[in-house]
Structure 1
Amino acid sequence: MTEDTLTQHIIDMLAGGHFTLANDDTFFFHDAGNRFPFATIVTKDNEFDNASNLDRPGVFRLNIGVGKETFQALFGEATSEHAPVDPMALDTLMPHPACGKTYWVSVINPSAQTFEKVKPLLAEALELARTRKAG
């Protein structure tokens, strides 16, 4: 899967949501308020998040904010500090290297097969964002 394909899928599922680009990264919001993204696509390391070595050519990471129950069903009590996988691994769903403790998951350069598994997580993240806004 390409970054553009992933971006287009998320834009299509937003149905009235909003996205913004900042420093070549893409942030997806449930509405135009831009309060907090439910998913992001990042393309490079920064001083706060460099565990995935995103500065490699052609590498990007899809990040998704899921609920606690989903996160624990996927990884148990693992957080980014105790993740069972290499944070630089390609096509592997894992706790987000910097935000795992807040129930964010990530995958670097997901394949089409992995993205099929991730689609329900994106739907959940979008619904959680909408629910928080309504509450």
Structure 2
Amino acid sequence: MTIEEIIDLIAGLDGVLTLRPAPGDGSPEISWGDAFFYYAPDGVVPTTRQPFATIVTKDYPDDRSSRLDRPDTFRVNIAAGKEAFVERLGRAPREQAADEVDAGTADAVIAHPVYGGAGWLAVVNPGPRTGEVLRDLLRTAHDRARSSYRRGAEVRPR
């Protein structure tokens, strides 16, 4: 799957706000070229919620283990939640597996190298082995974000 195919898939889900930082838009330079996906049916970037998925195209200072500095390498990060995390990896998010997959392995579902303990999963360069799984995980993350938004909307003063 290409970055554009993934962006189109996520952007096609209801209520998704897609941010694609670029030069001149006031975003930090490190985020340029990446993509961030929020459930925000009002079109306003949430100030109290994280994105439910991101695509990163480069290493960040505290996150170099996926080696995204390799040519044509990117990683999709998904706020999958504990249930999906356990279903895909066979362990709880905060447990370390003895046979943990290298965070730079392409086309494999892995615990996010930094946020795995919070139930985030990741896929470097999704391909034939992970394409359908990735689609399912993104839908799950979207559903979770939508549910969280709706719960929050119910308690907000009008």
TM over 0.5: yes
Aligned mates of 1:16, 1:73 — CA distance in 2: 26
Structure in which a larger fraction of residues adopt helix: 1
Question: One-letter code of the match for 1:46?
Answer: Y
Q: Is the 8 A contact 1:94 1:105 kept in 2?
A: yes
How high is the sequence identity, in percent, across the aligned residues? 36
- Corresponding residue number in structure 2 for 1:26: 35
**Deviation (angstroms), 1:81:** 5.5
- Corresponding residue number in structure 2 for 1:84: 100
Residues 15 and 77 (structure 1), Cα distance of their counterparts in 2 relative to 1, 3 Å cut: closer
Aligned mates of 1:70, 1:116 — CA distance in 2: 14
Question: One-letter code of the match for 1:96?
Answer: H
User: What is the SS of the residue equivalent to 1:55?
Assistant: coil
Q: Is the 8 A contact 1:78 1:84 kept in 2?
A: no
**Deviation (angstroms), 1:80:** 8.3
**Deviation (angstroms), 1:74:** 1.8
Partner of residue 145 from structure 2, selected from 123, 129, 132: 129
Residues 78 and 103 (structure 1), Cα distance of their counterparts in 2 relative to 1, 3 Å cut: closer
The runs of 5 or more residues in structure 1 that have no matched partner are: none
Question: One-letter code of the match for 1:132?
Answer: S
Aligned mates of 1:21, 1:64 — CA distance in 2: 16
Larger gyration radius, structure 1 or structure 2? 2
- Corresponding residue number in structure 1 for 2:86: 72
Q: Is the 8 A contact 1:24 1:43 kept in 2?
A: yes
Q: 2:75 matched to 1:61?
A: yes
1:56-95 CA deviation, whole Å, 9 max, x = no partner?
Answer: 1100001100121111122213558647100010101000
Of 18-27 and 71-80, deviating more is: 71-80
Cα-Cα RMSD: 1.7
Residues 80 and 108 (structure 1), Cα distance of their counterparts in 2 relative to 1, 3 Å cut: farther
Q: 2:60 matched to 1:49?
A: no
Q: Is the 8 A contact 1:43 1:59 kept in 2?
A: yes
**Deviation (angstroms), 1:124:** 0.9
The runs of 5 or more residues in structure 2 that have no matched partner are: 22-31, 152-158
User: What is the SS of the residue equivalent to 2:130?
Assistant: helix
Where does structure 1 differ by over 3 angstroms across 4 or more consecutive aligned residues? 78-83
